[in-house]
Amino acid sequence: MKTPTNSINSRSEALVQMQSSIQNSVLPVVATVSHNEKLAKFSRQNFKTWQQKMLFYLTMFKLAKFLKDDPFTIKEGEVDEVTAFTAVEAWKHSDFLCRNYILNGLSDALYEVFSVKKTNKELWTSLDHKYKAEDVGTKKFLVAKFVNFVMVDSKLVVNQVQEIQLIIHEILAKGMIIIESFQVVAIIEKLTPAWNDFKNYLKHKKRKYQWKT
């Protein structure tokens, strides 16, 4: 049966190992990974892409665990003060790096907004909830813009086709998929009644091609 002293020594040894693990796994990586390539700062656009790149960046530095871990604490009397202090300081250092990598990945305006968050978990979760919701709203807006687009005879058809293609490009950039054949049919269907003969010609040509295949 372990005596209280042995139990405390065991916890101390475990804590020292944990401290060593933090220092050995984080600090050397920070020293050796090149900082030449930096993430573009997030400024409310393409959050999902930025988030995935930031997560990879933090994982590369072995700091991703600090996005979900609560602040490190030690109960009084579990270990000696020196060991406890050193372990806590090692955790705080890595937590500080994680927090500032995220904040420095934000635009100046967003930095001011999110720097008030007290923990990395709160910071990361706040960004996730706010901008994933905004991404969804933007996707719905783009889809509606595409569906409701109406061609008119008062504008050049070529210019209007280019407008539709720009909307499609924005939709694809948001990670949504529109197969090419659907894009073509959608554009044909949006031609005005003045182009009915041409629309029928294109549809007939498309059917002939499909039958041949």
For 36-59, how does the pLDDT look when each residue is reduced to its tens digit (9 = 90+)? 557 789 988 888 889 999 999 999
CA distance 139 to 145: 10
By mean pLDDT, which of 27-41, 98-112, 137-151, 182-196 is the weakest? 27-41
Residue 18 has pLDDT above 80, yes or no: no
Closest by Cα among 92, 91, 72, 82 to 12 = 82
Is 82 a domain residue? Answer: yes
- Are 122 and 47 members of one domain? yes
**What SS3 class is residue 106?**
strand
Tell me if 141 is assigned to some domain.
no
Asked, for residue 68, whether it belongs to a domain, the answer is: yes
Residue where a domain terminates, one of 132, 160, 175: 132
Q: Are residues 53 and 156 in the same domain?
A: no
Query: By residue range, what is the domain housing residue 190?
Result: 149-212
- Helical axes 120-147 vs 47-60, angle rounded to 10°: 150
Q: What are phi and psi of 100, to 5 degrees?
A: -80, -25
Q: Do 166 and 193 belong together in one domain? A: yes
pLDDT band at 35 (very low <50, low <70, confident <90, very high): very low
Q: Is the pLDDT of residue 129 over 70?
A: yes
Q: Is residue 165 part of a domain?
A: yes
Residue 106 pLDDT > 50: yes
151 close to 191: Cβ distance less than 8 angstroms: yes
**pLDDT for 32 beyond 60:** no
**Cβ atoms 172, 46 nearer than 8 A:** no
User: Can you tell me the mean pLDDT for 103-119?
Assistant: 94
Domain-embedded: residue 144: no
Tell whether the model's pLDDT for residue 121 goes beyond 50.
Answer: yes
Q: Is residue 138 part of a domain?
A: no
Domain total in the chain: 2
Higher pLDDT residue, 24 or 166? Answer: 166
DSSP state of 195: G
